[in-house]
Amino acid sequence: MAHKKEEQDFQAYLKLIEAGQPAEKILADIPEQAHHVRAELEAVEWLEHSRGLLEPRPGFVTASRKRLKTRLETPEGRQVGIWRSRWLVRYRSRSYGLAQSPVILAVLLVMLVGMIVQSGRVLAHSAPTWLPGDFLYPLKETGEHLSLLFSLSSEQRASRHIEFARQRLLEAQSLVFEGRYEEIAGAATDFSEHMDAALRTINQISRKDLVTARRLAGLLDVTLSQHNQLISTLVQACPDTARQDLQRVLAVSQNGLLEMKRIIDPGNSNASILTWELPLLAQKAAVLGD
Amino acid sequence: MSDHSPVGEHELIQKARSGDTDAFGRLYEANAPAVFRFLYAHLDDRLDAEDLTEETFLRVWQALPGYREQGAPFGGFLFRVARNVLYDHYRKTRRRPSITLDREWPDDQQADPAVSVPEQLERREMHRVLDALREDQRLVLSLRFLAGLSPEETAQAMGRSAGAIRVLQHRALAAVRKLLVGPEEAQSGAQKGRAGFPGVSETD
């Protein structure tokens, strides 16, 4: 409270100085406080005097008003929309220097994109324990989508689809172990989509770069082979509702293996399945499984 | 700060927002001297201060659609724009508001016949003291005392609370006093005769 009173008194002294009263007279009237406020009141008095040194030249305001009116009537004087005007007042030149250079802005943008891509990759690859139906699972999906979005080449995109297909297989297995059969359908669908995309991309690559296509096909072959045996076993342990979904996974996987054989070993006439027939084959396999 | 009553200023602002250039011209006449003083306190050159004063009001005109009074004073809005214009000028001229005690003064300031030599010397001394302050201290003093803003308007122009502005103001005033009389006398609290206080004459 005492501090507030002192502040109010000080503001009153300032008003007296602004009105033209000398600081010495004010100080003489407040002998108890003079020692505390003398320095500041003398500084204020000096500033008030300095104010007179900064007045504009006679006639400046009138002449510049006319110039300004002329400028306001040109395209330069167009009033902008609300959001741009708030940016003009609030954000422009908030701190002069670094953020305004186009080069530095471009660098910051590249860094931001890099952070987003890296975050996506971290989310996609560092959350293997998140399963469909988990609270944070959408983050994992978002990370995968970002990772695919920022793929720099067809090869990279195909590799990522293969990895995400592998993730879906792992998730399907975990779901069976945990008895969460209702979530397997989603994992199976995602697996089919990633497989389809991987095969389509590898086929496109095979038209221009057979060596890379074969390498990717080999990667997919290894991935599917590692999991197919386990999934075949799990099919037997599932209730009927989940068995259909797992059989769909198996069918897609096996057809993918055949397609990869065709790419790896083109002379083999047994491998003639076209990639866009895979979803239809998966459906047939599901029906046959019943 | 301006000569207009709050009610009159409010009407002028409303008209200006609707595109009335005459109403804006009256706002300009009322506020331009304060804006000029603020800018000139930070700049070497009177002509630069004049140019930037016009630039400030041009930007205010452009940004008026986004201005919402809602209890916020026009002065705070106006001087926030003026501060931004000043910083843009620093960036273009690659100048930093740092201590430049050995500043070289442009010839036009000495050649102006309308300005007496004592006045020029006083202005140099004023700039010497202001330049030696920290940037936020210089800003608060130029807004509060040279432009004549209230603590609330100053707070809005600087984007800080009124309480923070009062604290900053106290420290800035103490720093000015120390620069004017020297650190030893400032510390001892010796009373200085008015004749020895730079820039303040006996007849003031």
Tell me what ipTM this predicted complex has.
0.80
For chain B, say whether A32 makes contact (Cβ under 8 Å): no
Q: Quick one: pLDDT band at residue A258, thresholds 50, 70, 90?
A: confident
A vs B, Cβ pairs < 8 A, gives 167
Is 60 exceeded by the pLDDT of residue B107?
no
Is 60 exceeded by the pLDDT of residue B123?
yes
Q: Which two tokens stand for residue B196?
A: 């020895």
Query: What is the structure's pLDDT at B82?
Result: 95
Q: Which helix (H) or strand (E) holds A205?
A: helix A184-208
Q: Which of A19-23, A183-187, B169-173, B191-195 has the highest mean pLDDT?
A: B169-173
Q: Tell me the whole-structure pTM to 2 decimals.
A: 0.55
| Minimal Cβ distance to B62: which of A22, A57, A88 | A88
Is A72 buried (19+), middle (13-18) or exposed (0-12) by CB count in 10 A?
Answer: buried
User: What average pLDDT does range A33-42 have in this prediction?
Assistant: 90
Q: Which of A37, A48, A49, A54 to mutate to test the interface with B (most CBs of B within 10 A)?
A: A54
Determine the residue of chain A that is closest to B179 in CA distance.
A43
A94-132 pLDDT tens trace: 444 444 466 777 888 888 888 877 776 676 666 557 888
| Nearest-angstrom CA–CA distance, A178 and A184 | 11
Q: Quick one: pLDDT band at residue A86, thresholds 50, 70, 90?
A: low
Evaluate whether B61 touches A79 at the Cβ level (below 8 Å): yes
Find chain B residues with C-beta within 8 A of A49's C-beta: 199-200, 204
Find chain B residues with C-beta within 8 A of A82's C-beta: 65-66
Per residue, what are the HEC states of chain B? CCCCCHHHHHHHHHHHHCCCHHHHHHHHHHHHHHHHHHHHHHCCCHHHHHHHHHHHHHHHHHHHHHCCCCCCCHHHHHHHHHHHHHHHHHHHHCCCCCCCCCCCCCHHHHHCCCCCHHHHHHHHHHHHHHHCCCHHHHHHHHHHHHCCCCHHHHHHHHCCCHHHHHHHHHHHHHHHHHHHHCHHHHHHCCCCCHHHCCCCCCCC
| Nearest-angstrom CA–CA distance, A172 and A168 | 6
For chain B, say whether A19 makes contact (Cβ under 8 Å): no
Determine the residue of chain B that is closest to A40 in CA distance.
B173
Query: What is the structure's pLDDT at B79?
Result: 94
With vertex at residue A172, the alpha carbon angle to CA A170 and CA A175, rounded to the nearest 5 degrees, is 110
Query: What is the structure's pLDDT at B58?
Result: 93
Q: Which of A2-6, A77-81, A175-179 has the highest mean pLDDT?
A: A175-179
User: What average pLDDT does range A53-67 have in this prediction?
Assistant: 92
**Residues B194, A24: C-beta atoms closer than 8 Å:** yes
User: What average pLDDT does range B104-119 have in this prediction?
Assistant: 57
Determine the residue of chain B that is closest to A62 in CA distance.
B29
Phi and psi angles of residue A70, each rounded to the nearest 5 degrees, phi first: -60, -45
Query: What is the structure's pLDDT at B98?
Result: 46
**Residues B199, A49: C-beta atoms closer than 8 Å:** yes
Query: What is the structure's pLDDT at A273?
Result: 38
User: What average pLDDT does range B70-76 have in this prediction?
Assistant: 76
Tell me the nearest-neighbour CA distance from A277 into chain B, angstroms.
Answer: 58
**Residues B87, A93: C-beta atoms closer than 8 Å:** yes
Query: What is the structure's pLDDT at A90?
Result: 57
Q: Which residue has the higher pLDDT, B113 or A225?
A: A225
| Minimal Cβ distance to B146: which of A47, A86, A97 | A47
B15-46 pLDDT tens trace: 898 888 999 999 999 999 999 999 999 998 89
Tell me the nearest-neighbour CA distance from A6 into chain B, angstroms.
Answer: 12
Find chain B residues with C-beta within 8 A of A47's C-beta: 141, 145-146, 176
| Nearest-angstrom CA–CA distance, B87 and B159 | 15
For chain B, say whether A284 makes contact (Cβ under 8 Å): no
pLDDT above 70: percentage of residues in chain A: 79
Query: What is the structure's pLDDT at A209?
Result: 87
Find chain A residues with C-beta within 8 A of B151's C-beta: 11
Is 50 exceeded by the pLDDT of residue A145?
yes
Average pLDDT, chain B: 80
User: What average pLDDT does range B155-163 have in this prediction?
Assistant: 89
Per residue, what are the HEC states of A171-187? HHHHHHHHCCHHHHHHH
For chain B, say whether A71 makes contact (Cβ under 8 Å): yes
CA B99 to chain centre: 17
CA A49 to chain centre: 55
Collect contacts of B4-7 with beta carbons under 8 A, ≥24 apart: B4/B30
Is 80 exceeded by the pLDDT of residue A171?
yes
Find chain B residues with C-beta within 8 A of A64's C-beta: 28, 32, 50, 53-54
